[in-house]
């Protein structure tokens, strides 16, 4: 190739369009890396033995418990494996795996480790089984013998999601267990409100008894249904029925959807829980004996579907309201935390800290001492995939990043940590000139298979700092350097209505910022929250910052369009030259390493609107519109819609949904030759809360749905 065949003769300099420092919320608290020299593989829980602050145990989702010295400068070589039962753990379901870890509180005399995990089911509607097991040590608690496993309690799971799985000892010495409603969507078995199942519950059992080869626990006599119920332990040999009694005696509280991470306050003993919502609200609850927390009738403070009673609440009689609840504009998967009882951050003492897996936001619950009203106070926006929190014996709280495997902690925020506000107008970003046109440093790009955006015309650009480069990862996705700014401008009827900036700040964290164009097109103003606006005959949705990161997932690498397979096409560049985008970027030195092959032999998506093979066009559409959430490592169902996979490996054809069947008997993710039974199609046609994609679109894509329906109709059998 030669320079004349590229979109540019030379790489444009970039003096101004560089991501500014990340605005830091003035909360008085900041989050920093703890133990910076070590990481783990999908860590999910943390524990310390009573009386032994010298080491910390970490549970990895695959089924390994690791330990390391509680020292700030600990190194990888100091990490040891204290228990490995990975061969017993079914980690193939998106929400399955090793899920909970606890050490016996009488550690001095009982070197016992308790593990919550999912194992393979036995078919017949039981894909996995949740297990609570005890392991003993033969070397004074240094390690634990896998052969010593005692399966204390088992629960059949009818679906692969909403397993909960957290375990922990209360101040009363009993073991508490949190289970979700069994999965799918809408709680089809009404497990949350049914007292003859341990699903959708917080349980309490007594494991301080000799193991007798049967049910390895007793029912505490003060459990709410101890006198009127029976043990509902379900084993692999036979699923025990309740003999007509309608209560399980293990139940401590009920009406929970998926209590994902919960904890006892070290000071007061109060049990706090984060309960993951369906599609409207996430909630934080204080769990009390016999309490009913409303699911499936209620979500947040409201009835399902958003209706409320006259006083604005939920109509379920006797239901206990959440402490706080937040909508999807702030995040989509709450992760319960801990009441801070440490000394490093006095401002947090006595406050419950929690976060959101989807948005990476972290809050604490603040209580008005005069009125008793509780509100959420945001501590930080982060790019942490908050899989869990942990707390050490000294009351310090840690954030566990299930994605990167790193641990973070809280420290006081000093005046120099406050940062600077993000530019309030688009003209102040350094990415647009006086005429409100993109500066020369912004490199235009276009996609083979663009995301549906309610019919809006789109212009796309990116800029990276001078002297930096883009790493092309093994799957062809672009890993942009710190300082990157990506720009997308939306227009309807020839008028610019929105420009979104997705930037990678100097600390490596991504964040999204939305600007609303003024009617006279002279500038655009930064929005501090999401917004709906009538534009012509349609409603345009401006996303909140949380919603930006809900779609720009960490699993998908945050930027969704820039990848080899999407950019391997020609573009007319500003100097009037038509050139291949990938060749242009390579020729200008934007990539950190040479391309592995000539562009003709590199991956390329099929154009969904073109004349290529029907399956390839449909798969390209799904890759662009859906695979950011529906892929390996994400939490949205069992299917993986990446274009690079074989159709068989997408796990769609003939596969039952795990997030509900939308009331359609026999519905599958993809039913051969039947779009009306295929939730891939049904959700695309919907304009209700079941719509996919769930954000940023309020108009059905007629061409896209026709393409997917035609493809489904062409499939005769599953591969």
Q: Please choose, from the candidates 212, 263, 253, 203, the residue with its C-alpha nearest in 3D space to the C-alpha of residue 233.
A: 203
Q: What is the pLDDT of residue 241?
A: 42
User: Of 603, 632, 655, which residue is a domain's last?
Assistant: 603
Q: What is the pLDDT of residue 691?
A: 77
pLDDT band at residue 99, thresholds of 50, 70 and 90? very high
**Average pLDDT estimate for 560-568:** 93
pLDDT digits (tens, 9 = 90+) for 239-267: 334 445 578 999 999 999 999 999 999 99
- Which backbone phi and psi does 709 adopt, to 5 degrees? -65, -40
What is the tally of structural domains in the chain? 3
- Asked whether residue 30 is assigned to any structural domain, the reply reads no
- Asked whether residue 375 is assigned to any structural domain, the reply reads no
Say if CB 561 and CB 447 are below 8 A apart: yes
User: Of 223, 254, 285, which residue is a domain's last?
Assistant: 254
User: Are 589 and 650 found together in one domain?
Assistant: no
446 pLDDT more than 90: yes
CB neighbours of residue 49 within 10 Å: 20
Q: What is the pLDDT of residue 310?
A: 59
658 pLDDT more than 90: no
Q: What is the pLDDT of residue 688?
A: 75
User: Are 1 and 67 found together in one domain?
Assistant: no
User: Are 709 and 562 found together in one domain?
Assistant: no
700 pLDDT more than 80: yes
Q: What is the DSSP letter of 713?
A: H
User: Are 670 and 598 found together in one domain?
Assistant: no
User: Are 632 and 671 found together in one domain?
Assistant: yes
CA 276 to centroid of chain Cα atoms: 11
Q: What is the pLDDT of residue 239?
A: 35
Ranges 95-104, 300-309, 673-682: which has the least confidence: 300-309
User: Are 715 and 569 found together in one domain?
Assistant: no
User: Are 234 and 135 found together in one domain?
Assistant: yes
- Asked whether residue 357 is assigned to any structural domain, the reply reads no
**Average pLDDT estimate for 283-307:** 91
User: Are 443 and 570 found together in one domain?
Assistant: yes
The kind and range of the H/E element at 284 are strand 281-287
Q: What is the pLDDT of residue 335?
A: 98
Range of the domain at 709: 605-719
**Average pLDDT estimate for 133-151:** 96
The interaxial angle of helices 614-626 and 702-714, nearest 10 deg, is: 130
User: Are 177 and 94 found together in one domain?
Assistant: yes
Q: What is the pTM of this model?
A: 0.82
pLDDT digits (tens, 9 = 90+) for 519-553: 999 999 999 888 889 999 999 999 887 778 777 77
Q: Which two tokens stand for residue 140?
A: 């004074």
Say if CB 198 and CB 179 are below 8 A apart: yes
d(Cα 543, Cα 531) in Å, to the nearest integer? 7
Q: What is the pLDDT of residue 240?
A: 39
- Which backbone phi and psi does 406 adopt, to 5 degrees? -90, 160
User: Are 592 and 618 found together in one domain?
Assistant: no
Task: Give percent above pLDDT 90 in the chain.
Answer: 72
Q: Please choose, from the candidates 674, 623, 670, 672, the residue with its C-alpha nearest in 3D space to the C-alpha of residue 651.
A: 670
pLDDT band at residue 52, thresholds of 50, 70 and 90? very high
pLDDT digits (tens, 9 = 90+) for 466-497: 999 999 999 999 999 999 999 999 999 999 99
User: Are 436 and 473 found together in one domain?
Assistant: yes
Say if CB 680 and CB 708 are below 8 A apart: yes
- Asked whether residue 108 is assigned to any structural domain, the reply reads yes
Q: What is the pLDDT of residue 29?
A: 92
Q: What is the pLDDT of residue 636?
A: 64
Ranges 134-138, 236-240, 243-247, 502-506: which has the least confidence: 236-240
- Asked whether residue 292 is assigned to any structural domain, the reply reads no
Domain harbouring 176, CATH code: 2.120.10.30
- Asked whether residue 637 is assigned to any structural domain, the reply reads yes
For the chain, the average pLDDT equals 90
Q: What is the pLDDT of residue 604?
A: 96
Cα angle 182, 188, 194 (rounded to 5 degrees) comes to 70
Sheet holding 259-264, edge to edge: 259-264, 271-275, 281-287, 324-327
User: Are 85 and 234 found together in one domain?
Assistant: yes
**Average pLDDT estimate for 658-685:** 90
d(Cα 506, Cα 22) in Å, to the nearest integer? 7
pLDDT digits (tens, 9 = 90+) for 396-432: 999 999 989 999 999 998 765 556 789 999 999 999 9
Q: What is the pLDDT of residue 359?
A: 86
């Amino acid at each position: 190739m030669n320079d004349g065949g590229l979109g540019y003769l030379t790489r444009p300099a970039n003096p101004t369009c560089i991501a500014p420092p990340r605005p830091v919320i003035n909360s008085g608290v900041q989050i920093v890396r703890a133990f910076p020299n070590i990481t783990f593989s999908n860590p999910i829980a943390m524990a310390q033995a009573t009386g032994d602050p010298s080491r910390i145990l970490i549970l990895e989702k695959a089924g390994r418990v690791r330990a390391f010295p509680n020292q700030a400068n600990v190194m990888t070589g100091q990490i040891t494996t204290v228990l490995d039962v990975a061969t017993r753990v079914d980690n193939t379901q998106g929400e399955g795996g090793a899920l909970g870890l606890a050490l016996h509180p009488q550690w001095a005399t009982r070197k016992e480790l308790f593990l919550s995990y999912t194992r393979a089911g036995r078919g017949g509607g039981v894909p996995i089984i949740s297990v609570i097991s005890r392991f003993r040590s033969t070397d004074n608690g240094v390690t634990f013998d896998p052969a010593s496993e005692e399966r204390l309690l088992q629960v059949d799971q009818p679906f692969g999601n909403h397993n909960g799985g957290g375990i922990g000892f209360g101040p009363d010495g009993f073991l508490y267990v949190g289970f979700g409603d069994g999965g799918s969507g809408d709680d089809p078995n009404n497990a949350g409100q049914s007292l003859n199942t341990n699903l959708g519950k917080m349980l309490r059992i007594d494991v301080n008894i000799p193991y007798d080869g049967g049910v390895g626990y007793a029912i505490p006599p003060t459990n709410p249904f101890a006198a009127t119920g029976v043990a509902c332990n379900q084993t692999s040999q036979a699923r025990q029925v309740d003999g007509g009694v309608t209560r399980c005696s293990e139940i401590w509280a009920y009406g929970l959807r998926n209590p994902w991470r919960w904890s006892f306050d070290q000071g007061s003993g109060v049990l706090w829980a984060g309960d993951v919502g369906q599609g409207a609200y996430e909630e934080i609850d204080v769990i009390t004996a016999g309490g009913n927390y409303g699911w499936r009738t209620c979500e947040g403070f409201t009835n399902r579907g958003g209706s409320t009673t006259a006083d604005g609440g939920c109509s379920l009689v006797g239901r206990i309201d959440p402490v706080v609840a937040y909508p999807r504009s702030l995040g989509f998967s709450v992760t319960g935390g801990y009441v801070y009882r440490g000394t490093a951050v006095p401002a947090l003492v006595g406050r419950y800290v929690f976060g959101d897996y989807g948005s990476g936001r972290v809050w604490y619950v603040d209580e008005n001492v005069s009125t008793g009203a509780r509100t959420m106070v945001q501590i930080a926006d982060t790019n942490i995939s908050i899989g869990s929190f942990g707390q050490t014996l000294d009351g310090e709280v840690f954030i566990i990043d299930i994605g990167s495997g790193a641990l973070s902690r809280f420290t006081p925020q000093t005046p120099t940590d406050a940062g600077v506000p993000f530019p309030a107008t688009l003209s102040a970003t350094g990415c647009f000139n006086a005429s409100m046109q993109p500066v020369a440093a912004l490199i235009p790009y276009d996609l083979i298979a663009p995301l549906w955006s309610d019919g809006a015309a789109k212009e796309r650009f990116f800029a990276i700092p001078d002297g930096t480069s883009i790493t092309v990862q093994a799957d062809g996705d672009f890993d942009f350097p710190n300082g990157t700014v990506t720009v997308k401008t939306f227009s309807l009827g020839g008028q610019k209505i929105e420009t979104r900036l997705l930037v990678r700040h100097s600390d490596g964290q991504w964040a999204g910022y939305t600007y609303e164009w003024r009617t006279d097109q002279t500038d655009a103003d930064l929005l501090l929250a999401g917004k709906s606006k009538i534009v012509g005959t349609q409603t345009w949705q401006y996303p909140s910052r949380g919603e930006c990161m809900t779609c720009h997932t960490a699993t998908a690498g945050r930027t969704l369009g820039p990848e080899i397979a999407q950019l391997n096409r020609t573009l007319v560049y500003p100097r009037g030259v038509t050139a291949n985008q990938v060749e242009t970027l390579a020729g200008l030195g934007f990539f950190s390493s040479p391309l592995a092959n000539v562009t003709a032999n590199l991956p390329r998506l099929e154009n969904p609107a073109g004349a290529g093979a029907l399956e390839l066009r449909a798969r390209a559409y799904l890759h662009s519109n859906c695979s950011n959430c529906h892929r390996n490592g994400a939490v949205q169902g069992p299917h993986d819609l990446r274009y690079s996979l074989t159709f068989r490996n997408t796990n769609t054809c003939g596969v039952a949904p795990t997030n509900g069947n939308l009331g359609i008997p026999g519905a599958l993710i993809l039913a051969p030759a039947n779009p009306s039974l295929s939730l891939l199609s049904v959700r695309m046609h919907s304009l209700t809360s079941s719509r996919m994609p769930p954000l940023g679109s309020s108009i059905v894509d007629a061409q896209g749905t026709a393409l997917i329906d035609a493809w489904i109709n062409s499939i005769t059998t599953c591969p």
